[in-house]
Every structure is written in structure tokens, then in C-alpha cells.
Structure 1
């Protein structure tokens, strides 16, 4: 695997190192030893799948709070997404900064999202599926979410979403949540 650290410390883009021949290619999408070499969390306890019927479906920005904070390894298994993470670690040099990465089924690219980051994505195609491995079990009481268009982050999505759930539209602004 090829690990590329992003401008957000601890967040990595991971590409499959391909061994190609006339049949196609072979590569690893996960290896505990390689993740350990980078000091990444390998305690995967759950794998989630998100299926999205229409292009422009937006999910986010979600996270779980401590002590149930989760690390995610995100991969698009069908179609494509614009995957976004926001660093919400208060002591981080990149606090409230974000990155966006295009993940497609054809690229096999993944995004490693450390604990303390909000995560969301916008589908680029109809019938898009996303799989993510997480290091904590879902805990409803630890769920935290922020608006996808929150001015505190100024995320530049590639286009206006066509579908955002009522729940994701109703999140309070970041600044209101931290001052409460």
C-alpha cells in the first residue's frame, strides 16, 4: 500500500500498490503490519456500508465523541464520492481545516480518518456504495454532527447537493455547539 499523509496530521490517503498482469491486478487494501508502521489504529470492530441511490446525495458531517471516538477507513466500492473530513481536535494546528478527496470504485483509493475528525461525503454518481471500517461500535449517545455547509468550515463541495436528509439539514452550527 502507498500511504500519503495529508495536510491534516494523522489523516492519510491510501492507494493500493498494484501488481499487474494480463488478468488485471492484485494488491492489499488492508495490512495490520503496514498500518502499524505508520502508527495507525488497527482495532477495527465494525464495517459499515452506505448505499446511495442518486448522484448528489450528501451525508455528513458526522463523528462520535470521546470516549467513543472512532477512526474510519473509507473506501468507495461502487460509483464515486467526494469525501470530506474536518479536523476537530481542539489542540491541533489544523483545527477546523478540511480536505476533500475523490474516492471511486475504479481507483481503489481509501481515506484514513483519525479520531477527532468529522466526516461526510457527496455522491458523484447514481447507485454509489461506500464501505468504512471503524474502530468503535456505534454509540448513539456519542453521536455528534455538524452542518455540511457550516460557515465555520467553508467546505467547497464540487456541486450543490441534490439530497440531504432532514436530520443532516437540522444540525446546529459548529459555533453554537461549542459555545453551549
Structure 2
């Protein structure tokens, strides 16, 4: 696993090179020893899988407020997605900045998104599946979201948006007085 820093502190892209032969491929999807410097004592306590059928569909942008803020480690197991992390941390030097990367089953990349950052993605290939590793349990009362189309974020979604859940399209736009998430 090669850990690559991004312009947003705490957001990393983990490059994994699969071993391939005539039978197929193999790669290590997670190793707490290799990722210890990123986890900083946090442990993975919940693992989720999502599948999204429609090309152009968007899920997100989601996060959890403290005391249930979570780090997420996200891999694409099938298909391709455009993955986005948004820095919502108050007093961060990259406050409201985004990092975007393609995750796919072929490139085997994993995005690491720290506490205080929102996450979302757009499906680039039908039937894409994501694996999420979380450092906190899902807590509905701590759930937060930002609208994927918020003009303050100016996210460059690569495809025309074809499908967004009612919940995700109802997330608020960032207000003028939004000062960020305090961790």
C-alpha cells in the first residue's frame, strides 16, 4: 500500500497494486499495521457496502457530527465512481475545499476521509459497489449532510446527474454563517 497525501490535510489516497496472474488478482484491502499512521489509534468498528445501479447517480455528501464523528476508508469493489471529500473542519487551512479522485475495481485505490470531512460520490459505471470502513458507529442523531450541488463547493461532477435520493437532494446549502464542524 502506498499512502499518497492530497492537498487536504488528513485526506489520503491509498494506492494498492494488485497481484495478477492467469487466475485473476489479489490485493490487501485493509491492514491496520500499514495504515496505522493514518488511523492514529482509531479502530474500524463498522463495515458497509453500497451498490448503485444508475450511471450519473450521486450519493452524499454525508458526515457525522461529534461526538460520533468518523473516519471513513472507502474502496470501489466493482465498477467506477468519482469520489469526493469536502473539508468541513472549522479552522482548517483547507476549509470548504474538495478533493476528488476516481476509485475503481481496476485501480484498487482507497480514499481515506478524516473526521470533519463530508463524503459523496457519482457512479461512472452501472452497478458500482463501494466498501466503507468506519471508525464510529452510525448514529442518526449525529448525521449531517450538504447538498451535492452547493455552489460554494463548486464540485466538478464528471457526468450529468441522473439520480439523487430525496434525502440527499434535501440537504441544505451552506449558509453564509456556516463556520464549520468543531471536532
Deviation at 1:136, TM superposition (A): 0.6
Per the alignment, residue 163 of structure 2 pairs with 163
Aligned partner of residue 157 in structure 2, secondary structure: coil
Per the alignment, residue 45 of structure 1 pairs with 45
Per the alignment, residue 75 of structure 1 pairs with 75
Deviation at 1:92, TM superposition (A): 0.8
Per the alignment, residue 62 of structure 1 pairs with 62
Is the CA contact (8 Å cut-off) linking 2:76 and 2:108 kept in structure 1?
A: yes
Is the CA contact (8 Å cut-off) linking 2:52 and 2:128 kept in structure 1?
A: yes
Is the CA contact (8 Å cut-off) linking 2:18 and 2:108 kept in structure 1?
A: no
Q: CA-to-partner distance for each residue in 1:12-58, whole Å, 9 max, x for gaps?
A: 10011444555454432211111113454541110111111111110
Deviation at 1:146, TM superposition (A): 0.4
Deviation at 1:175, TM superposition (A): 1.5
Is the CA contact (8 Å cut-off) linking 1:41 and 1:135 kept in structure 2?
A: no
Per the alignment, residue 108 of structure 2 pairs with 108
Aligned partners of 2:173 and 2:41: how far apart in 1?
Answer: 30
Q: Bigger CA drift: 128-137 or 29-38?
A: 29-38
Aligned partner of residue 178 in structure 2, secondary structure: helix
Q: Which has the higher helix share?
A: 1
Moved over 6 A (4+): none
Per the alignment, residue 140 of structure 2 pairs with 140
Q: TM-score, normalised by structure 1?
A: 0.92
Aligned partners of 1:177 and 1:71: how far apart in 2?
Answer: 25
* RMSD over equivalenced CA pairs, Å: 1.7
Q: TM-score, normalised by structure 2?
A: 0.91
Q: CA-to-partner distance for each residue in 1:130-156, whole Å, 9 max, x for gaps?
A: 111101100000000000010111111
Aligned partners of 1:49 and 1:176: how far apart in 2?
Answer: 35
Extract unaligned runs of 5+ from structure 1. none
Q: CA-to-partner distance for each residue in 1:53-103, whole Å, 9 max, x for gaps?
A: 111110011000011001000011111100001001111100000011100
Extract unaligned runs of 5+ from structure 2. none
Per the alignment, residue 93 of structure 2 pairs with 93
* Aligned length in residues: 179
Aligned partners of 1:74 and 1:10: how far apart in 2?
Answer: 14
